[in-house]
Amino acid sequence: MVRESWMEIYPYYQNYIQNMLPLFEQSIKFVQDLAPQDLNDNTKILEYLATEEKRSVGKVKAISEFSALYRRDIFTRIWDCVEDLRSTTDLEEIRDIIIDDFEESIDFLNFLSALTTPDQSQYESTNLYLIVQYIQEQIFPRRSSVTEIYSHLIEKSVQYYDIQRHLLMPSTSYRENDENPETPALSAILYKIINEITSLLNLDPNYLQSPKDDTIEIPVIVKDEIFLPFIDSIANNESSNLNQILKRMELELIHDIFIGPTMKFISAGELHNYFRRESISNTRERIIPQLSNESLVLMYLANLSHKRGFISKELINWISSIVALLLYNAALETFLLEENIFYSIFTDLKTEEKILPYMMKLICFDKYLGIDRTKIRDSVQYRKEIFSSIGSQIPSMKKLIEDISKYIITLIEK
């Protein structure tokens, strides 16, 4: 796969924004020049569209088709708005509403256009860098150790646990190979296994002398018990790759029979009350588990974040699409009111698929998410996946979008 440079991706990212901006600017000029009574019927609009579409702009066919399509889209919305409001609002006011909506849209496009610079070396002052850092801090932090990442994730989980978990669970249909050294996403079965381990450790643990420290007894559960509720061998794959899976949550197989926490998990978990010590003799302590729903899931995410150079293709596409969507939607929320007549143009697949894939690649660079951008898919199907994931928005994502939007406002004010 070709490793594209920043300078190769950046123009692609700018391409459609730079094609849309003049369309909005020309159209606002047309509406500003229009007398309010011209909105009584759509003659002027149709004349304008006919002239624009006939004019030879000396552009390549794809671009003129793109412009014609968007221009029609813009004016369809203008005319819909006039028809909706004509009976209750006077024409001058309607024109002002349309102009306001245009101004919001142009501000949004200008923001997207100035999000980053062609010169990658100046990244620190760009909004793209700052916003991606902000998003990472909430759901996918970078720190020097897994323990630090884990603590940070737990701190942020009060507000964002659902989306932290969402980041691990693509809604797309897939089956990843657990033998692969790259960390895969949490499949529905794996998530059930995590739930089962959490419950069994909390409900009824056995205690075993730690293989690493003979002064403590660690909680363990019997390996086979976690697979009992699975019927028809549906968890066979997970069962045969259990060791690999457990490592990703700082758990380990002991004597090939028991599952127990590693010393690293115990020390990281103790900081958050997920384990407590109980003295059972003068020389021996027992580690009592008291896990929460997020204890293992966030350990999986912390490990993933720490080893972000080695994550599966499915997850790379999912994580970068979620971060790009968060950024795009937050910017949209910052600049456009939901009632804006052009709002749906920006949430339409045909707009998103021209901007988001390149934004995803840009945010994969080292200074940003630092994940392997060569694994970002370029197929039509993959663009549909992005679209599908928009439909799967979860409530906590809305909360994060609001928070990012507030952050964008502080950036603009600065």
Binding site for other proteins (CB under 8 A): 80, 83-84, 87, 157-158, 161, 171-174, 188, 192, 195-196, 198-199, 202-204, 228-229, 231, 273-274, 288-295, 338, 348-349, 380-381, 384, 387-388, 390-392, 395
Distances (CA, A) of 212 to 17, 218, 264: 58, 10, 11
**Residue spans of beta strands (DSSP E) within 309-370:** none
Instruction: Report in angstroms how near the CB of residue 317 gets to other proteins at its nearest.
Output: 15
Q: Which is nearer to other proteins, 117 or 405 (CB)?
A: 405
Nearer to other proteins, 185 or 327 (CB): 185
Helical (H) or strand (E) element with 62: helix 61-85
> What is the nearest approach in angstroms of other proteins to the Cβ of residue 388?
6
Q: Report the interhelical angle of 43-54 vs 61-85 (nearest 10°).
A: 180
Q: Decide whether 174 or 258 has the Cβ nearer to other proteins.
A: 174
Q: Is 2 exposed, middle or buried (0-12, 13-18, 19+ CB in 10 A)?
A: exposed
d(CA 329, CA 108): 11
Nearest to 309 by CA among 299, 319, 322, 296: 319
Rounded to a whole number of angstroms, the minimum distance from the CB of residue 168 to other proteins is 15
Task: Write down the least CB distance from residue 156 to other proteins, Å.
Answer: 11
Least distance (Å) from other proteins to the CB of residue 353? 11
What are the backbone angles phi and psi of residue 278, rounded to the nearest 5°?
-130, 130
Q: Select from 381, 370, 410 the least CA-distant residue to 133.
A: 370
> Toward other proteins, which CB reaches closer, 2 or 231?
231
- Tokens representing 256? 């090939």
CB of 392 to other proteins, least distance (A): 5
Residue 120 or 396: the one with the smaller Cβ distance to other proteins is 396
Is the dihedral angle over the CA atoms 330, 332, 334, 340 positive or is it negative?
Answer: negative
Report, in Å, the least distance between residue 378 CB and other proteins.
13
Query: From the CB of 165, what's the least distance to other proteins, in Å?
Result: 10
Which residues are 183's β-sheet partners?
A: 311
Q: Between 132 and 324, name the residue whose CB sits nearer to other proteins.
A: 324
Using alpha carbons, list the distances in angstroms from residue 64 to 10, 15, 38, 393.
22, 13, 27, 34
Write the single-letter amino acid at 66: F
Q: Which two tokens stand for residue 369?
A: 């998410």
- 17 vs 386, which CB is nearer to other proteins? 386
Going by C-alpha positions, the residue among 210, 245, 242 that lies closest to residue 225 is: 242
Phi-psi domain of 28 (left: phi exceeds 0; alpha: psi -120 through 50; beta: other): alpha
* Complex with other proteins: residue 56 or 173, whichever CB lies closer: 173
